[in-house]
Each structure stands twice: as structure tokens, then as C-alpha cells.
């Protein structure tokens, strides 16, 4: 089976500024994949290359086997992109916007699918409203709808929930997860790391135009060593044996770091010896935020900004 997305040695330069540095990436059909990184890491540039909005300075990018530069028409037809910026035509209503988008892809009699999209994105009561009268969150919903109107097998979401309410986040992800179950490939960029951790099976992390981590979400999290224990104690001082484990003290709680579960009993034993009671205890598992901070902090001088 051909990859949904295939990127080989893609570089992108804007004059002296290097935005992408030799990107190699394959995303299989049906994956829910995340591209993560700080601002300026190259995520949007890579998406623009895949969408055919900008040409790579070197290298090849393909969507479902179609070269985005040489076979632009075929590649563009099978991908739907939700851009980060709010771009809209102020002269049309929501339904007219989606009907025009359908026509762009040569689709007739697409009203049933448009109705379904409007329903799942909470736009039914706004379908006749002019685009310029919508709030920012509503405009973003329409951008998502436009990307889905031709039922593309590959869907790229660039910060789709930035600045939107909790209700939209829930309804959007419910709909997108359904599309993924139906076989659509989803590529997501987001600064909400909890979204990526919950939704995505694999993750690539970019920094300064390079991929600095690429693995399954589970493996990335498992590679973070140590666990944090939050303790509220009957004493305001910590036994001397536990001082080397102390990470921080905040709001009356000690935060200790241990390498594995077996060390937790050692901590409790040291407290018992000193007759210090545990009033509260919480074991804090590593999450994707810990992975992100660790990788971004450990990858210095990885290329040009």
C-alpha cells in the first residue's frame, strides 16, 4: 500500500532563511498523525508544501503517490487542508461557500454531505448567515467544513482548535475521529499537547526545520525516565534521605522524582522511620508535555531558524 504522505529530503529556503532541512517522512494510510514543534519550527511550511501552496527548494513530496509539484491537480484533489489563518470570502453565506467549494472540485448534488458537515460542526443555524457576520470560532468551523466538503482521503489540520470553545473542540474531534475510523488519514498540528496525546498514534517533532523525534506516542512517553510524586506531609521538613529526590516545593507539597515504581516504597519507608504521616499523595505519570520539553531542550543547534 502506498503511503498517504511521502516526503523525501525536502528543503525549503526563503532567501537566506532555511525553513525546512532535509525532511524525510512517511505517513501510512489511515493514520492519525501529529506534527508538533514550537513556533517557527517549520510545521506550517511543511503543510504548505504538501498542499501545493509553496514549492520545495529541493526534494519530493507526494500525496497518495501523486507528486505535489508535478501532479498538482491530482494531489490537490485528494487532500483537504484547514489553514491556521482565517481566510474567507465576505460576499457569501456559509452554505454558498461550501457549495462553491464543492464546485471547485467538480462535485454536483453534494447537498446531503454538506448537510451532514453542517450538523456535525454545529453550523446548521448559521448556514444562511453571511461569512463576515460570523465570530472567529464560527469562521474556523467553516474552514474545517471547506476542507471536508470533497471527502478527501487525506485531511491536514493546522491548529484547527486555536481560539475556539470547548463545545467545538468536542464536536470537531468526535467528527474527525469518525472520519479516521472510516479510513481517512489525519495529520494534525496543535499547541494543545493533550489533544495530540489523546488522538494521535504517531508523532513527529520539528525544531528549526528538522525532525528531531519520530515515534509512536506511547514509545515517546515511555522513553521519559522517572516519575514525580506529589506529597503533602504532616511535617514541613523532608527526611535527609529524601532530599536528593526533591524536585520542588509548592503550595505545601513536596515534589519528588523517582526512577521507577519500586522506589516509591523506599520513599514511604523513609517517612515511616521519621514518623511523618502522608496526608496526600499523587503519582504523576509522564505525559507528552514532558516529552516535548525534554526533546526541545536537548536538541540545540539543530539547524537554521
Listed residue (84, 51, 45, 83) closest to 304, CA to CA: 45
pTM of the predicted model as reported, rounded to 2 decimal places: 0.81
Q: Is the pLDDT of residue 19 over 90?
A: yes
pLDDT for position 298: 67
Q: Torsions phi, psi of 156, nearest 5? A: -115, 120
Quick one: average pLDDT of 112-129?
A: 90
Q: Are strands 227-233 and 253-258 parallel, antiparallel or unpaired?
A: antiparallel
The torsion of the CA quartet 134, 136, 137, 142, rounded to 10 degrees, works out to 60
Q: Nine-digit cell at 73?
A: 491537480
> pLDDT category, 88, cuts 50, 70, 90?
confident
What domain range includes position 280?
226-285
- In this structure, are 113 and 236 located in the same domain? no
For 212, the 3-state DSSP assignment is strand
CATH number, residue 277:
3.30.70
| Cα gap 114→120, rounded to integer Å | 10
226-285 residue pLDDT tens: 788 999 999 989 999 999 999 889 889 999 988 878 889 999 999 999 999 999 999 888
Q: Worst-scoring range by mean pLDDT, 33-42, 55-64, 162-171, 207-216?
A: 162-171
CATH number, residue 123:
3.40.50.300
> Is residue 296 in a domain?
no
* 206 backbone φψ class: left, alpha, beta (φ>0; ψ -120 to 50): beta
45-57 residue pLDDT tens: 999 999 988 999 9
**CA-CA-CA-CA torsion sign (84, 86, 92, 94):** positive
Domain count, the chain: 2
> Is residue 294 in a domain?
no
Amino acid at each position: 500500500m502506498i503511503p498517504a504522505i511521502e516526503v523525501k529530503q525536502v528543503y525549503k529556503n526563503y532567501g537566506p532563511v532555511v525553513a525546512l532541512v532535509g525532511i524525510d517522512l512517511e505517513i501510512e494510510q489511515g493514520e492519525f498523525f501529529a506534527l508538533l514543534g514550537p513556533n517557527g519550527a517549520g510545521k506550517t511550511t511543511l503543510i504548505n508544501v504538501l498542499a501545493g501552496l509553496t514549492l520545495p527548494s529541493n526534494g519530493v513530496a507526494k500525496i497518495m503517490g501523486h507528486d505535489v509539484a508535478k501532479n498538482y491537480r491530482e494531489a490537490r484533489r485528494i487532500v483537504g487542508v484547514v489553514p491556521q489563518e482565517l481566510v474567507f470570502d465576505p460576499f457569501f453565506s456559509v452554505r454558498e461557500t461550501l457549495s462553491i467549494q464543492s464546485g471547485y472540485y467538480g462535485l454536483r448534488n453534494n447537498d446531503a454531505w454538506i448537510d451532514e458537515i453542517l450538523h456535525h460542526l454545529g453550523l446548521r443555524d448559521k448556514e444562511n448567515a453571511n461569512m463576515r457576520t460570523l465570530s472567529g470560532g464560527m469562521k474556523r468551523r467553516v474552514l474545517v467544513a471547506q476542507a471536508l466538503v470533497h471527502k478527501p482521503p487525506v485531511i491536514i489540520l493546522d491548529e484547527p482548535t486555536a481560539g475556539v470553545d470547548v463545545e467545538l473542540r468536542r464536536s470537531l474531534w468526535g467528527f474527525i475521529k469518525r472520519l479516521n475510523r472510516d479510513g481517512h488519514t489525519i495529520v494534525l498540528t496543535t499547541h494543545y499537547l493533550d489533544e495530540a496525546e489523546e488522538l494521535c498514534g504517531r508523532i513527529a517533532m520539528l525544531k528549526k526545520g528538522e525532525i528531531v523525534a519520530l515515534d509512536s506516542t506511547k514509545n515517546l512517553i515511555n522513553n521519559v525516565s522517572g516519575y514525580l510524586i506529589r506529597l503533602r506531609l504532616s511535617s514541613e521538613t523532608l527526611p535527609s534521605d529524601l532530599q536528593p529526590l526533591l524536585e520542588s516545593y509548592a503550595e505545601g507539597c513536596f515534589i519528588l522524582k523517582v526512577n521507577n515504581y519500586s522506589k516509591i516504597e523506599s520513599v514511604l519507608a523513609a517517612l515511616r522511620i521519621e514518623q511523618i504521616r502522608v496526608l496526600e499523595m499523587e503519582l504523576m505519570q509522564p505525559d507528552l508535555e514532558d516529552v516535548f520539553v525534554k526533546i526541545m531542550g536537548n536538541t540545540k543547534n539543530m539547524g537554521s531558524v
